[in-house]
Structure 1
């Protein structure tokens, strides 16, 4: 009876702290990436772990700062241009829809969308959201450095929570999750860079303004399965519509072609060296984690799915059902 009460209490506490737990997972994910870089430095350059972590973190911060210095003002100015041009693009979309006899439906959907933004889009609310997001990001980064600096300390602590007879299995499961998450991120990073470059170059060739910022947006949103490419395509197509329906058609065709190339060319090549998740599983996982954790759940849906995928395959299918099944990353 007491044990049941404790389990229920722990479950309720975890639910109340779910946003913090997601941040903790984000820190663990980033720590895995730090550790992958440190391990590579140790194996190829014989650099001690502590020094390797310092080099890795400093190099990443320097790279981000350099990118912001070189391209930050360009991205910011193009983002402002996009924001300024979107109202005219939406008006053009309404006019084009009316010319094809679909004005009523388009007007209704756009009014509903702009109304939703008006309800929750006050300046104060936006500033608070940005401030909270920045605070969460800083916490995740700092915590990830602490985790990467002494991974054995936290790994041993987690394993000690497991009964002694299953600790070897728990350690092996943690190792498998680390390997799979590292491979997943490498695959996503390649896809993000490829999609961003193809989008930016394609929009530039078509003559769409703010192509650089739109390419960056497409690359960043590639982290979100299924819906990310759709969100990235909307502003690009709307801006192309300002130059006429023909340019909008070209932009739509470009986004579709890039997604076909990503799905049929880039991703299959990546998956030979990364983690492949069943698309239906990933789609429903995205919906579940979005419902449970909001925006953070959307951003972390794929790596969270990787973790649960490993747990189910290793602890349930292999151990409980005694059925062989391949573990993602096990033979990498």
Structure 2
């Protein structure tokens, strides 16, 4: 009788392990869909951040969401009408100027000890660019480049922002009853941290793009508006994004003169110091302070696992993961014996 019970127990455990393995394989196959869902969640957090002032004044959620969606649509349309043609022309100018700038730099460094280094860097940059374009094409095809997936992303953002409690309660029903309160608190804290982080990050991106554009314009670097736009967008990717954004600016500044390239480098360093020592502390004051090493390795891990889409979503994924681990694992309730000893 005891051997039969042990056999049943082993069979049940084996079936559970097998089911978990199958579930993990299915989730891995649905990576693109899961990233699309998480992108909709991030977008819903942005909408929620914009809706908060209206909600605090007593406006119904549906009305606040409608006002925010219409306002954002009008804002994007206005920006496209006002600056769309100029941005498009400057980005087109960038694509034509950067190859010439690279050739000029190679010619000026010809015969110097840096020539082999520049050749290796050019080959590596070319291969990385080709791989990046290929990965970006795969992302466009699989995760949001098609009209249907892009429409699903927008609709998902609106649905999540319209009824967040419905999806929150559905997720809590999947957890054991005794763990639901703790999981609910962890979800609330992670959502709050993500909203604060996104709001602060959008402000940091706008300030960085403005400072870069103005500084490049003052230095006489070609296409300053395009460089500012690139710097602002790439600032969403911490640590790595600003370094990538500085490369085209330095190349174009070098076509003007080596002194201009030096001043451009100094300008980028100053802007990054302002962001790191002024803007980011303000962002992390109400959000979450992520260790730089953790953020850096999460970027590499996400890029290895998910490609370009993983790099774009690595920072918000790290924010949520950091808060969930802190709430569900690190901050455990004290044992009764520990509480008594602390009181005595």
TM-score by length of 1: 0.90
CA distance in 1: counterparts of 2:151 and 2:93, whole angstroms: 29
Among 266, 270, 292, which residue is 2:283 paired with? 270
Alignment of 1:150-165 (within 5 A): 150-165=163-178
What whole-Å deviation, never above 9, does each CA across 1:236-279 have from its counterpart, x for those lacking one? 11111111211111111111111122112222233223321111
Alignment of 1:175-190 (within 5 A): 175-190=188-203
**Cα distance, 1:188 vs. partner?**
0.5
Match of 1:114 in 2: 126
**Cα distance, 1:70 vs. partner?**
0.7
**Cα distance, 1:106 vs. partner?**
0.6
What whole-Å deviation, never above 9, does each CA across 1:267-295 have from its counterpart, x for those lacking one? 22332233211111111111111111111
Provide structure 1 residue ranges, at least 5 long, that are not aligned to the other structure.
323-332
CA distance in 1: counterparts of 2:54 and 2:274, whole angstroms: 33
Among 99, 103, 107, which residue is 1:91 paired with? 103
Match of 2:181 in 1: 168
Match of 1:13 in 2: 26
**Cα distance, 1:167 vs. partner?**
1.4
Match of 1:214 in 2: 227
Match of 1:61 in 2: 73
RMSD value over aligned CA atoms?
Answer: 2.1
The total of aligned residue pairs comes to 319
The alpha-carbon distance between structure 1 residues 321 and 75, as it changes in their structure 2 partners (threshold 3 A), is: farther
CA distance in 2: counterparts of 1:251 and 1:98, whole angstroms: 23
The alpha-carbon distance between structure 1 residues 100 and 250, as it changes in their structure 2 partners (threshold 3 A), is: farther
The alpha-carbon distance between structure 1 residues 321 and 20, as it changes in their structure 2 partners (threshold 3 A), is: farther
Q: Describe the SS at the equivalent of 1:187.
A: helix
Match of 2:303 in 1: 290
The alpha-carbon distance between structure 1 residues 48 and 74, as it changes in their structure 2 partners (threshold 3 A), is: same
The alpha-carbon distance between structure 1 residues 256 and 179, as it changes in their structure 2 partners (threshold 3 A), is: same
Match of 1:79 in 2: 91
Provide structure 2 residue ranges, at least 5 long, that are not aligned to the other structure.
1-13, 336-344
CA distance in 2: counterparts of 1:189 and 1:155, whole angstroms: 25
CA distance in 1: counterparts of 2:35 and 2:222, whole angstroms: 37
Tell me which structure has the larger Cα radius of gyration: 2
Q: Describe the SS at the equivalent of 1:100.
A: coil
What whole-Å deviation, never above 9, does each CA across 1:169-216 have from its counterpart, x for those lacking one? 221111111101001111111211111111011001100011011101
**Cα distance, 1:220 vs. partner?**
0.7
Among 33, 56, 59, which residue is 1:47 paired with? 59
The alpha-carbon distance between structure 1 residues 116 and 208, as it changes in their structure 2 partners (threshold 3 A), is: same
Among 37, 42, 48, which residue is 1:24 paired with? 37
Structure 2 residue 145 is the aligned partner of structure 1 residue 134? yes
CA distance in 1: counterparts of 2:247 and 2:256, whole angstroms: 15
The alpha-carbon distance between structure 1 residues 153 and 266, as it changes in their structure 2 partners (threshold 3 A), is: closer
Q: Describe the SS at the equivalent of 2:221.
A: coil
Structure 2 residue 223 is the aligned partner of structure 1 residue 223? no
TM-score by length of 2: 0.87
**Cα distance, 1:33 vs. partner?**
2.2
Match of 2:162 in 1: 149
**Cα distance, 1:139 vs. partner?**
2.5
Structure 2 residue 112 is the aligned partner of structure 1 residue 100? yes
CA distance in 1: counterparts of 2:20 and 2:140, whole angstroms: 36
**Cα distance, 1:127 vs. partner?**
7.1
Contact persistence 2:139–2:309 (CA under 8 A): no
Contact persistence 2:200–2:282 (CA under 8 A): no
